[in-house]
Amino acid sequence: MEILAICILCIGLGGLLGSLKPTYHIIQFSDYQHTGWRVLLSMILIFILAFLSYLWILALHPVTPLKLGIAAIFCAGGTFVFVVTHMSKQTIARLKQMVQEKHYQASHDSLTGLPNRVFFYQEFDRLLESHHTSFCCMILDVDNFKLINDSFGHEQGDCVLQTIGQRITNILPGGAMAARIGGDELAVLLPDSDIDDALNVTQAIVQQLEQPMSCGSFQNGIGISIGLAHYPDDGRDRKTLLLNADTAMYQAKRSARSYQIYHPDMRHIRTSSVN
Protein backbone atom coordinates (compact mmCIF):
# COMPACT_ATOMS: atom_id res chain seq x y z
CA MET A 1 0.00 0.00 0.00
CA GLU A 2 2.91 2.32 0.71
CA ILE A 3 4.33 1.92 -2.80
CA LEU A 4 0.88 2.44 -4.32
CA ALA A 5 0.34 5.65 -2.34
CA ILE A 6 3.75 6.97 -3.33
CA CYS A 7 3.14 6.16 -7.01
CA ILE A 8 -0.24 7.87 -6.95
CA LEU A 9 1.25 10.94 -5.28
CA CYS A 10 4.12 11.03 -7.78
CA ILE A 11 1.63 11.07 -10.66
CA GLY A 12 -0.04 14.14 -9.17
CA LEU A 13 3.34 15.74 -8.53
CA GLY A 14 4.29 15.13 -12.14
CA GLY A 15 1.08 16.88 -13.21
CA LEU A 16 1.97 19.93 -11.13
CA LEU A 17 5.51 20.02 -12.48
CA GLY A 18 4.14 19.66 -16.00
CA SER A 19 1.80 22.61 -15.46
CA LEU A 20 4.62 25.04 -14.63
CA LYS A 21 5.74 25.54 -18.24
CA PRO A 22 2.31 26.27 -19.80
CA THR A 23 1.42 28.58 -16.90
CA TYR A 24 4.69 30.49 -17.38
CA HIS A 25 4.03 30.75 -21.13
CA ILE A 26 0.54 32.12 -20.49
CA ILE A 27 2.03 34.79 -18.24
CA GLN A 28 4.44 35.73 -21.05
CA PHE A 29 1.58 36.33 -23.49
CA SER A 30 1.40 40.14 -23.50
CA ASP A 31 -2.42 40.15 -23.56
CA TYR A 32 -2.76 37.69 -20.68
CA GLN A 33 -0.44 39.02 -17.99
CA HIS A 34 -3.25 38.97 -15.46
CA THR A 35 -2.61 38.76 -11.75
CA GLY A 36 -4.67 35.56 -11.58
CA TRP A 37 -2.17 33.59 -13.64
CA ARG A 38 0.70 34.82 -11.46
CA VAL A 39 -1.23 33.79 -8.37
CA LEU A 40 -1.88 30.38 -9.92
CA LEU A 41 1.83 29.93 -10.61
CA SER A 42 2.63 30.78 -7.00
CA MET A 43 -0.01 28.35 -5.76
CA ILE A 44 1.38 25.58 -7.98
CA LEU A 45 4.80 26.10 -6.41
CA ILE A 46 3.23 25.93 -2.94
CA PHE A 47 1.34 22.76 -3.90
CA ILE A 48 4.57 21.19 -5.10
CA LEU A 49 6.10 21.81 -1.68
CA ALA A 50 2.99 20.28 -0.08
CA PHE A 51 3.28 17.22 -2.33
CA LEU A 52 6.93 16.78 -1.40
CA SER A 53 6.11 17.13 2.29
CA TYR A 54 3.35 14.54 2.06
CA LEU A 55 5.64 12.26 0.05
CA TRP A 56 8.13 12.50 2.91
CA ILE A 57 5.38 11.58 5.39
CA LEU A 58 4.38 8.54 3.32
CA ALA A 59 8.00 7.41 3.16
CA LEU A 60 8.53 7.63 6.94
CA HIS A 61 5.18 6.47 8.35
CA PRO A 62 2.89 3.51 7.75
CA VAL A 63 0.30 4.13 5.06
CA THR A 64 -3.31 3.82 6.13
CA PRO A 65 -6.38 3.75 3.84
CA LEU A 66 -7.00 7.38 4.85
CA LYS A 67 -3.51 8.41 3.74
CA LEU A 68 -4.01 6.47 0.50
CA GLY A 69 -7.24 8.37 -0.08
CA ILE A 70 -5.51 11.69 0.57
CA ALA A 71 -2.77 10.72 -1.92
CA ALA A 72 -5.48 9.99 -4.49
CA ILE A 73 -7.02 13.42 -3.88
CA PHE A 74 -3.58 15.02 -4.27
CA CYS A 75 -3.12 13.12 -7.52
CA ALA A 76 -6.51 14.23 -8.84
CA GLY A 77 -5.69 17.83 -7.96
CA GLY A 78 -2.32 17.74 -9.70
CA THR A 79 -3.85 16.12 -12.78
CA PHE A 80 -6.63 18.72 -12.85
CA VAL A 81 -4.15 21.61 -12.74
CA PHE A 82 -2.12 19.98 -15.52
CA VAL A 83 -5.15 19.58 -17.80
CA VAL A 84 -6.49 23.08 -17.12
CA THR A 85 -3.18 24.85 -17.72
CA HIS A 86 -2.46 22.97 -20.96
CA MET A 87 -5.98 23.52 -22.32
CA SER A 88 -5.81 27.20 -21.36
CA LYS A 89 -2.49 27.64 -23.13
CA GLN A 90 -3.81 25.98 -26.30
CA THR A 91 -6.99 28.06 -26.23
CA ILE A 92 -5.13 31.33 -25.74
CA ALA A 93 -2.66 30.42 -28.49
CA ARG A 94 -5.53 29.70 -30.89
CA LEU A 95 -7.23 32.98 -30.00
CA LYS A 96 -4.02 34.92 -30.60
CA GLN A 97 -3.57 33.15 -33.92
CA MET A 98 -7.14 34.01 -34.94
CA VAL A 99 -6.59 37.66 -34.01
CA GLN A 100 -3.36 37.74 -36.05
CA GLU A 101 -5.11 36.13 -39.02
CA LYS A 102 -7.99 38.61 -38.81
CA HIS A 103 -5.51 41.48 -38.64
CA TYR A 104 -3.61 40.10 -41.63
CA GLN A 105 -6.80 39.70 -43.65
CA ALA A 106 -7.87 43.24 -42.79
CA SER A 107 -4.51 44.75 -43.76
CA HIS A 108 -3.53 42.66 -46.81
CA ASP A 109 -4.88 42.08 -50.26
CA SER A 110 -6.40 38.61 -50.57
CA LEU A 111 -5.21 38.08 -54.16
CA THR A 112 -1.58 39.19 -54.11
CA GLY A 113 -0.82 38.97 -50.38
CA LEU A 114 0.54 42.51 -50.52
CA PRO A 115 -0.47 45.11 -47.92
CA ASN A 116 -3.69 46.86 -48.91
CA ARG A 117 -4.47 50.57 -49.22
CA VAL A 118 -5.44 51.00 -45.55
CA PHE A 119 -2.25 49.38 -44.26
CA PHE A 120 -0.14 51.30 -46.77
CA TYR A 121 -1.62 54.60 -45.60
CA GLN A 122 -0.96 53.66 -41.97
CA GLU A 123 2.67 52.84 -42.71
CA PHE A 124 3.01 56.02 -44.75
CA ASP A 125 1.74 58.10 -41.82
CA ARG A 126 4.07 56.29 -39.41
CA LEU A 127 6.97 57.10 -41.70
CA LEU A 128 6.01 60.77 -41.67
CA GLU A 129 5.59 60.80 -37.90
CA SER A 130 9.01 59.22 -37.42
CA HIS A 131 10.56 62.35 -38.96
CA HIS A 132 12.59 60.59 -41.63
CA THR A 133 14.73 63.19 -43.38
CA SER A 134 14.30 61.64 -46.81
CA PHE A 135 12.21 58.92 -48.47
CA CYS A 136 10.52 58.19 -51.76
CA CYS A 137 7.15 56.88 -52.78
CA MET A 138 6.00 55.40 -56.06
CA ILE A 139 2.68 54.85 -57.78
CA LEU A 140 2.73 51.97 -60.29
CA ASP A 141 0.09 51.15 -62.89
CA VAL A 142 0.13 48.09 -65.15
CA ASP A 143 -0.02 49.01 -68.84
CA ASN A 144 -2.97 47.58 -70.78
CA PHE A 145 -4.12 45.37 -67.92
CA LYS A 146 -7.72 45.46 -69.12
CA LEU A 147 -6.52 44.07 -72.44
CA ILE A 148 -4.83 41.18 -70.62
CA ASN A 149 -8.08 40.39 -68.80
CA ASP A 150 -10.15 40.65 -71.97
CA SER A 151 -7.76 38.63 -74.10
CA PHE A 152 -6.61 35.92 -71.69
CA GLY A 153 -9.28 35.88 -69.00
CA HIS A 154 -9.48 37.07 -65.41
CA GLU A 155 -7.74 33.98 -64.06
CA GLN A 156 -4.62 34.79 -66.06
CA GLY A 157 -5.03 38.46 -65.13
CA ASP A 158 -5.04 37.50 -61.44
CA CYS A 159 -1.92 35.41 -61.99
CA VAL A 160 -0.22 38.40 -63.63
CA LEU A 161 -1.00 40.58 -60.60
CA GLN A 162 0.30 37.91 -58.24
CA THR A 163 3.51 37.58 -60.24
CA ILE A 164 3.97 41.35 -60.30
CA GLY A 165 3.57 41.51 -56.54
CA GLN A 166 6.08 38.72 -55.98
CA ARG A 167 8.68 40.19 -58.33
CA ILE A 168 8.43 43.70 -56.90
CA THR A 169 8.63 42.39 -53.33
CA ASN A 170 11.76 40.39 -54.19
CA ILE A 171 13.43 43.49 -55.62
CA LEU A 172 12.72 45.91 -52.80
CA PRO A 173 15.48 46.63 -50.27
CA GLY A 174 15.00 45.92 -46.59
CA GLY A 175 12.47 48.19 -44.90
CA ALA A 176 10.69 49.05 -48.15
CA MET A 177 7.07 48.09 -48.73
CA ALA A 178 4.91 47.43 -51.78
CA ALA A 179 1.11 47.55 -51.56
CA ARG A 180 -1.86 47.01 -53.84
CA ILE A 181 -3.99 50.14 -53.58
CA GLY A 182 -6.35 49.55 -56.49
CA GLY A 183 -7.26 47.07 -59.21
CA ASP A 184 -3.99 47.13 -61.16
CA GLU A 185 -2.43 49.99 -59.22
CA LEU A 186 0.35 49.48 -56.69
CA ALA A 187 2.40 51.74 -54.46
CA VAL A 188 5.87 51.50 -52.96
CA LEU A 189 7.47 53.17 -49.96
CA LEU A 190 11.27 53.48 -49.86
CA PRO A 191 12.40 54.75 -46.44
CA ASP A 192 15.78 56.48 -46.12
CA SER A 193 16.17 56.87 -49.87
CA ASP A 194 16.71 59.66 -52.36
CA ILE A 195 15.69 59.89 -56.00
CA ASP A 196 18.82 58.09 -57.19
CA ASP A 197 18.03 55.15 -54.90
CA ALA A 198 14.43 55.15 -56.10
CA LEU A 199 15.53 55.20 -59.74
CA ASN A 200 17.72 52.14 -59.19
CA VAL A 201 14.77 50.27 -57.70
CA THR A 202 12.47 51.54 -60.48
CA GLN A 203 14.77 50.33 -63.23
CA ALA A 204 15.09 46.93 -61.55
CA ILE A 205 11.29 46.66 -61.35
CA VAL A 206 10.86 47.55 -65.02
CA GLN A 207 13.48 45.00 -66.08
CA GLN A 208 11.97 42.24 -63.95
CA LEU A 209 8.44 42.83 -65.20
CA GLU A 210 9.60 42.75 -68.82
CA GLN A 211 10.61 39.12 -68.28
CA PRO A 212 8.03 36.54 -69.47
CA MET A 213 5.47 35.34 -66.93
CA SER A 214 4.07 31.82 -66.71
CA CYS A 215 0.38 32.58 -66.31
CA GLY A 216 -1.53 29.98 -68.28
CA SER A 217 -1.84 31.11 -71.87
CA PHE A 218 -0.23 34.43 -71.00
CA GLN A 219 3.52 33.98 -71.36
CA ASN A 220 4.64 37.54 -71.93
CA GLY A 221 6.27 40.28 -69.93
CA ILE A 222 4.31 43.40 -69.08
CA GLY A 223 4.92 47.11 -69.21
CA ILE A 224 4.37 49.36 -66.23
CA SER A 225 4.13 53.10 -65.66
CA ILE A 226 5.76 54.42 -62.48
CA GLY A 227 5.58 57.85 -60.91
CA LEU A 228 8.09 58.89 -58.26
CA ALA A 229 7.86 61.58 -55.60
CA HIS A 230 10.40 62.52 -52.94
CA TYR A 231 9.92 63.69 -49.37
CA PRO A 232 10.27 66.51 -48.47
CA ASP A 233 10.89 68.09 -51.90
CA ASP A 234 7.57 67.01 -53.44
CA GLY A 235 5.37 67.30 -50.38
CA ARG A 236 5.33 67.04 -46.61
CA ASP A 237 2.11 65.09 -46.15
CA ARG A 238 0.76 61.80 -47.48
CA LYS A 239 -1.96 63.25 -49.67
CA THR A 240 0.37 65.66 -51.46
CA LEU A 241 3.16 63.13 -51.96
CA LEU A 242 0.85 60.44 -53.34
CA LEU A 243 -0.97 62.93 -55.53
CA ASN A 244 2.33 64.10 -57.00
CA ALA A 245 3.56 60.52 -57.50
CA ASP A 246 0.22 59.75 -59.18
CA THR A 247 0.62 62.78 -61.42
CA ALA A 248 4.11 61.65 -62.42
CA MET A 249 2.77 58.17 -63.14
CA TYR A 250 0.12 59.56 -65.51
CA GLN A 251 2.75 61.66 -67.22
CA ALA A 252 4.86 58.52 -67.72
CA LYS A 253 1.83 56.77 -69.21
CA ARG A 254 0.99 59.70 -71.48
CA SER A 255 4.57 59.92 -72.75
CA ALA A 256 4.90 56.12 -73.14
CA ARG A 257 7.78 56.04 -70.67
CA SER A 258 8.29 53.43 -67.99
CA TYR A 259 8.77 55.97 -65.22
CA GLN A 260 8.70 59.66 -64.46
CA ILE A 261 10.01 61.75 -61.57
CA TYR A 262 7.58 64.38 -60.36
CA HIS A 263 8.32 68.06 -60.91
CA PRO A 264 6.06 71.07 -60.26
CA ASP A 265 5.43 71.75 -63.96
CA MET A 266 3.24 68.64 -64.04
CA ARG A 267 0.58 70.09 -61.76
CA HIS A 268 -1.69 71.08 -64.64
CA ILE A 269 -1.98 67.47 -65.88
CA ARG A 270 -3.35 65.94 -62.69
CA THR A 271 -6.10 63.62 -63.76
CA SER A 272 -6.46 61.44 -60.69
CA SER A 273 -7.25 61.94 -57.05
CA VAL A 274 -5.45 60.14 -54.24
CA ASN A 275 -7.20 60.36 -50.87
Residues labelled as active-site residues: 184
Backbone dihedral region of 113: left (phi > 0), alpha (psi from -120 to 50 degrees) or beta? left
Q: Torsion angle, CA of 243/246/251/257, rounded to 10 degrees?
A: 150
B/e letters for 84-109, b = 16+ CB within 10 Å, e = fewer, are ebbebbeebeeeeeeeeeeeeeebbb
Q: DSSP string spanning 233-246?
A: TT-SSHHHHHHHHH
Interatomic CA distance for residues 243 and 70, integer angstroms: 76
Interatomic CA distance for residues 74 and 53, integer angstroms: 12
Q: DSSP string spanning 30-76?
A: GGG--HHHHHHHHHHHHHHHHHHHHHHHHHHSPPPHHHHHHHHHHHH
Angle, helix 154-171 to helix 145-152, in steps of 10 degrees: 140
**By the 8 A CB rule, do 228 and 262 touch?**
yes
Angle, helix 35-60 to helix 2-28, in steps of 10 degrees: 160
C-alpha distances out from residue 274 to 143, 244, 270, Å: 19, 9, 10
